[in-house]
Structure 1
Amino acid sequence: MILCCGEALIDMIPTPTSAGADGFVPHSGGAIFNTAIGLGRLGVPTGFLTGLSTDLFGEQLVSDLIASHVNADYAVRSDLPTTLAFVRLTGGQATYTFYDENSAGRSLQPDQLPQISPDVTALYFGGISLISEPCAEFYAALALRDSAQRVIMLDPNIRPGFIRDETRYRARLDRMIAVADILKVSDEDLDWIVPGSGTPEDKAIDMTAKGPRIVIVTRGSAGASAYFADGRVVTVTAQTAVVVDTVGAGDTFNSGVLAHLSMAGLLSKPRVQDIGPADMENALALGARVAAVTVARAGANPPWAQELNI
């Protein structure tokens, strides 16, 4: 099983009303939630670890996880409110305003780390849950505790405007990168993590020296590349799609990458060292396929395996 560890929230999506003005419709979302949903729909055994409210939005999130065959048993339930993210769409690009103070997800503490069963062979982390405290320390502690026995994939999905203490955030992110087997970043993320005038290729290779064996760099419509610590590189092009919006595109891409590696039997600590360029090329290609479907739909709505004939 892949255990996705991070935020679940409600995206309030602007939608025209009968009166003509936009209203906001609640859609289940969050970067890590979206990846978990994508994995479940692709038929990969998937669990989800987060702080979930017992309020009506928390029940919506649980219901949607179960509907996409994601195990929610690891979720830590409380009566604190659910995080809300109000979305603004401009030319298909999404920007967010978060309401996250004292929420169920944000309030997780490191002393709440669960015991995880042996059938969980990989942990996936990322998103705003790595910024917001105290939950960010909860996830960092989990990654450091379990990295010796489980594969770690990390996608920080950096939002500079959301970071209140950059020094503290960078230090925590460095600790997590050091124990990650696979790091996925956008080209913008990479430039933030490694400032300066170096090429994306040089920066990605530099990142492999900090811990990850493989660094994936996505470049939107320009495709994605995987860089190995030994200098090997593979690149795939993005698939053509009529873009409705980009909500959940990167999250769904990650689900495709993880799904391929899982189906190939490579997402375990003994096998992760066997991942080669051909494996990553196929993983990136599946990521591109599922992301192309998602951007052609409104909101984060990953495809099911039968839609892709897999």
Structure 2
Amino acid sequence: MILCCGEALIDMIPQPTQGAQTCFTPHAGGAVFNTAIALGRLGSKPGFVTGLSRDLFGVQLAQALEESHVDCDLVIRSDLPTTLAFVELNDGQARYTFYDENTAGRSLSPDHLPDIPASVTALYFGGISLISEPCADFYAALALREAPGRAIIIDPNIRAAFIRDEVLYRARLDKMIAVADIVKVSDEDLDWIIPGPEALATKARKLRAQGPHAVIVTRGGDGALAFGAGDEAVEVPAKRVSIVDTVGAGDTFNAGVLASLMAAGLLSKARMKDIGPSAMRAALMHGACVAAVTVSRAGANPPWAHELP
């Protein structure tokens, strides 16, 4: 099992009305939530660790997880409210405004660390849950504790405008990257982590030198690259589809990659060294295929396995 560790929140998606005003419709979301949902729909039987509210939005999130076959035994429930993310769409690109103070997800601390069952071979981390304290410390502590025996995958999905203490965030992220087996970043994430004019490949190799077995870099419509043990990068193109919006695109790409590696029996600490160019290329292609379906329809709505071409 892969255990997805991070935020579950409500995306408030703008909807046009007959008048001049815009209304917002609540959709279950969050970067790590979206990846868990996509993995469940792809048949990978994931688990989920998050702080989940008992309010009406928390109930909506729990129902969505159950419907997509995500194991919620390790979810930590409370009476605090659910995080809300209001989405602004410009030419299909999503921007977010978060309402996250004193919420069920953000209020997790290292005191809440759960016992992880032996069936879990890999843990996936990412999103805004790695930014804000105390939950960021919860997830960092979990990654560092489990890294010696289980594969660690991280997608920081950096929201620079959301970071209040950049020095603290960078220090925490560096510790997590050092114990990670796979780090996935967008080209924008990579430029933020390693600023300066160096080429993308140079920066990716520098990031890999910090500890990961592999670094995956997505470039939107230009496809994805992976940098592993060898000097040569593995590259796959993006699938060409008519884009409705990009909400959840990177999250579902991650699910496709992880589902492919899991199906190949490679998603464990012991098998990380066996992920060669062929397996990585297949994983990236599957990720691109899953993401293409997601961007072709509104919101973060990952495909079921039977919907893939």
Bin for the TM-score computed over the shorter chain: over 0.9
Measured in 2, the distance between the counterparts of 1:92 and 1:169 equals 29
Measured in 2, the distance between the counterparts of 1:229 and 1:277 equals 9
Deviation per residue, 1:249-305 (Å, 9 max, x gap) = 000000000000000000111111111000000000000001000001000000000
Measured in 1, the distance between the counterparts of 2:247 and 2:277 equals 29
Aligned-partner SS, 1:278: helix
Measured in 1, the distance between the counterparts of 2:266 and 2:100 equals 36
> Residue type of the partner of 1:218?
T
Residue matched to 1:29 = 29
Residue matched to 2:46 = 46
In the TM superposition, residue 197 of structure 1 has moved relative to its aligned partner by 1.3
**Contact in 2 for aligned 1:150/1:268 (Cα 8 Å):** yes
Measured in 2, the distance between the counterparts of 1:11 and 1:73 equals 24
Residue matched to 1:120 = 120
Task: Report matched runs for 1:268-283 at 5 Å.
Answer: 268-283=268-283
Runs (5+) with no aligned partner, structure 2: none
In the TM superposition, residue 20 of structure 1 has moved relative to its aligned partner by 5.4
Residue matched to 1:10 = 10
> Residue type of the partner of 2:253?
F
Deviation per residue, 1:206-259 (Å, 9 max, x gap) = 111100010000000000000013323100000001000000000000000000
Runs (5+) with no aligned partner, structure 1: none
In the TM superposition, residue 21 of structure 1 has moved relative to its aligned partner by 2.8
**Contact in 2 for aligned 1:110/1:137 (Cα 8 Å):** yes
Task: Report matched runs for 1:158-237 at 5 Å.
Answer: 158-237=158-237
**Contact in 1 for aligned 2:177/2:212 (Cα 8 Å):** yes
Deviation per residue, 1:148-181 (Å, 9 max, x gap) = 1110000001111110000000000000000000
> Residue type of the partner of 1:227?
F
**Contact in 2 for aligned 1:151/1:272 (Cα 8 Å):** yes
Measured in 1, the distance between the counterparts of 2:18 and 2:107 equals 38
> Residue type of the partner of 2:79?
D
> Residue type of the partner of 2:4?
C
Measured in 1, the distance between the counterparts of 2:298 and 2:238 equals 19
Aligned-partner SS, 1:60: helix
**Contact in 2 for aligned 1:48/1:70 (Cα 8 Å):** yes
TM-score by length of 2: 0.99
In the TM superposition, residue 18 of structure 1 has moved relative to its aligned partner by 4.7
In the TM superposition, residue 126 of structure 1 has moved relative to its aligned partner by 0.5
Across the aligned residues of Structure 1 and Structure 2, the Cα RMSD in angstroms comes to: 0.9
Are residues 194 and 229 of structure 1, via their aligned partners in 2, closer, same or farther at CA, if it must alter by over 3 Å? farther
Residue matched to 2:95 = 95
Measured in 2, the distance between the counterparts of 1:272 and 1:118 equals 18
Measured in 2, the distance between the counterparts of 1:51 and 1:87 equals 22
Aligned-partner SS, 2:207: helix
Percent identity for Structure 1 against Structure 2: 68
> Residue type of the partner of 2:151?
V
TM-score by length of 1: 0.98
Measured in 2, the distance between the counterparts of 1:162 and 1:23 equals 24
* Number of aligned residues: 309
> Residue type of the partner of 1:235?
E
**Contact in 2 for aligned 1:89/1:95 (Cα 8 Å):** yes
**Contact in 2 for aligned 1:209/1:229 (Cα 8 Å):** no
Measured in 2, the distance between the counterparts of 1:191 and 1:88 equals 23
Aligned-partner SS, 2:97: strand
Measured in 1, the distance between the counterparts of 2:267 and 2:258 equals 8
Measured in 1, the distance between the counterparts of 2:218 and 2:160 equals 18
